[in-house]
Every structure is written in C-alpha cells, then in structure tokens.
C-alpha cells in the first residue's frame, strides 16, 4: 500500500493558488489549530503568503494551567511579531476554552498507553474536532493543524483524522506534513531568532513522565 505524501499534496494546492494570482477578495481563509508558538513559527511563515490565517489555540491536553498560559502568551507574541514584520497576510488568533477535564475524559482508560499511541490519537481527534467545528461555524475555506511539524507526531494519522472530520463538518482539510522540506529545522531556527519558549514535552501529565529533560523537542 503506497503511503500518501501529504507535503506533495499541499504543494499541488499551493501551486494552484499561485497560478490564480488571486486578488485580496479571493485569498482563501485557513483556520489553523496551533499546539505552540515554536511549531507554529514555520507553518505561519510558510502559509501566510497563501492564506488569511486565523490561529486557533486550543490545547486542553496541557495539564498545568501555568504552562498553558505561558504557551498561549508565546503564541500571541509570535503572531504580533509576524504581523509587525508583514511576513504575509495579517494573522489573527482565537483562543479556545482551557478544559483539561475534557482531555482526561477523552483519554480515560489509556493513561498507561505509551506516548505516540492510541492515547495521542484520541488527543489529536479531540483538538481537531473542535477546530473543524469552529471552522465550519466561521465558514472558513480550509482547516489544518501545526502538529505534523513535530518528528514525534504521526502525520499520517493526523491527516486521516482531518480528512474524516472534513467530510463530517463540510470544511476542506489542508493536507500537510510540515516536518518535510526542513520544516522542523526551520522551526528551531525561528524559535532561536524570536527567543521562543520551547517545551520538551507535549503537554499532558502522561507525556511529562516520558520526556527527556535535554531533548528540546517542541510539540
């Protein structure tokens, strides 16, 4: 069974957009779920020339309120910097509810599951479902997530869930594997350039126990 190259799928879509040479009225809108500023850094730099992006910061998986607030503040700071520098079309941000109890209910019974397994897939679906729902409400042209930039995240599973939710909510899913084309490497460079806080664990209490203190891998 051939694996889908989601980066190539995205390249095709962006090429069509460039060929159109669309005016401002025709620029498509993208509702982009973001897990954190470091992961969003490359994705926003890459896509803000093609889309009018609203970043949706929705991460109930983050177990600790202080950590949640710190990551949210970094996301806002990065967007403000990009808008000042006019990297592309103006970027907006929408923050979802912080509801860690919803995450815990979603993964109940999977607390001992290893990182990267079924518990994480449930978490993907939780965050992407809320993204798709709000994208449909806002009549966005596409929805997507920054999660695939991380080497620790399953891009195939993320796209599979995104496509299923696209069919359910009637909003096109933007195919992606943002770690490709040195996307993850670029996110590290941008994190250093903007002095972004880079966490070394995904966010939930379960991921903390498996995190390597010196790994430096953002979600």
121 CB-near residues (< 8 Å, 6+ apart): 154, 157, 161
For residue 105, what are the β-bridge partners?
Answer: none
pLDDT of the residue at 110? 84
Question: Is it the case that residue 210 has pLDDT exceeding 80?
Answer: no
Tell me the C-alpha distance between 45 and 40, whole Å.
8
pLDDT of the residue at 18? 82
pLDDT of the residue at 112? 81
For residue 133, the tally of other CB atoms under 10 A from its CB is: 15
Question: Is it the case that residue 105 has pLDDT exceeding 60?
Answer: yes
Q: Which CATH architecture has domain 26-208?
A: 3-Layer(aba) Sandwich (3.40)
For residue 54, what are the β-bridge partners?
Answer: 31, 92
pLDDT of the residue at 20? 75
Query: pLDDT band for position 218 (50/70/90)?
Result: very low
pLDDT of the residue at 142? 98
pLDDT of the residue at 111? 82
Closest CA to 115 of 192, 44, 215: 215
pTM of the model: 0.91
Mean pLDDT, residues 25-36 taken together? 92
91 CB-near residues (< 8 Å, 6+ apart): 44, 48, 53, 54, 55, 79, 82, 83
pLDDT of the residue at 113? 85
pLDDT of the residue at 209? 67
For the chain, the domains span 26-208
pLDDT of the residue at 19? 79
Closest CA to 212 of 138, 152, 165: 152
Q: In the block, which residue shows the tokens 């009549």?
A: 139
Classified as helix, coil or strand, 212 is: coil
Closest CA to 34 of 26, 44, 45: 44
pLDDT of the residue at 1? 42
Tell me the C-alpha distance between 201 and 84, whole Å.
30
In the chain the first and final C-alpha atoms are separated, in Å, by 29
Mean pLDDT, residues 116-128 taken together? 94
Tell me the C-alpha distance between 54 and 31, whole Å.
5
Tell me the pLDDT tens digit for each residue of 54-101.
999 999 999 899 999 999 999 999 999 999 999 999 999 999 999 999
Mean pLDDT, residues 114-122 taken together? 90
Helix and strand numbers, DSSP H then E, in the chain:
8, 4
180 CB-near residues (< 8 Å, 6+ apart): 6, 7
Q: In the block, which residue shows the tokens 């209490």?
A: 205
Tell me the C-alpha distance between 74 and 219, whole Å.
14
């Amino acid at each position: 069974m051939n694996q889908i190259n989601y980066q190539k799928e995205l390249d095709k879509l962006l090429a069509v957009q460039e060929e159109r040479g669309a005016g401002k009225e025709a620029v498509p809108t993208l509702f982009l779920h973001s897990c954190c500023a470091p992961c969003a850094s490359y994705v926003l730099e890459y896509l803000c020339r093609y889309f009018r992006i609203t970043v949706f910061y929705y991460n109930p998986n983050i177990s600790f309120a202080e950590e949640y607030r710190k990551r949210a503040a970094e996301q806002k700071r990065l967007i403000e910097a990009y808008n000042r520098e006019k990297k592309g079309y103006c970027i907006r941000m929408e923050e979802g509810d912080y509801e860690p109890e919803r995450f815990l209910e979603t993964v109940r019974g999977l607390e001992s599951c290893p990182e990267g397994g079924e518990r994480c897939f449930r978490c993907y679906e939780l965050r992407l479902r809320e993204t798709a729902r709000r994208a449909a409400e806002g009549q966005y042209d596409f929805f997507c997530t920054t999660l695939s930039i991380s080497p620790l995240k399953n891009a195939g599973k993320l796209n599979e869930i995104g496509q299923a939710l696209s069919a359910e909510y009637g909003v096109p899913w933007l195919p992606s594997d943002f770690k490709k084309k040195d996307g993850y490497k670029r996110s590290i460079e941008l994190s250093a350039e903007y002095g972004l806080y880079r966490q070394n664990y995904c966010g939930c209490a379960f991921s903390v126990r498996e995190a390597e203190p010196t790994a430096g891998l953002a979600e």
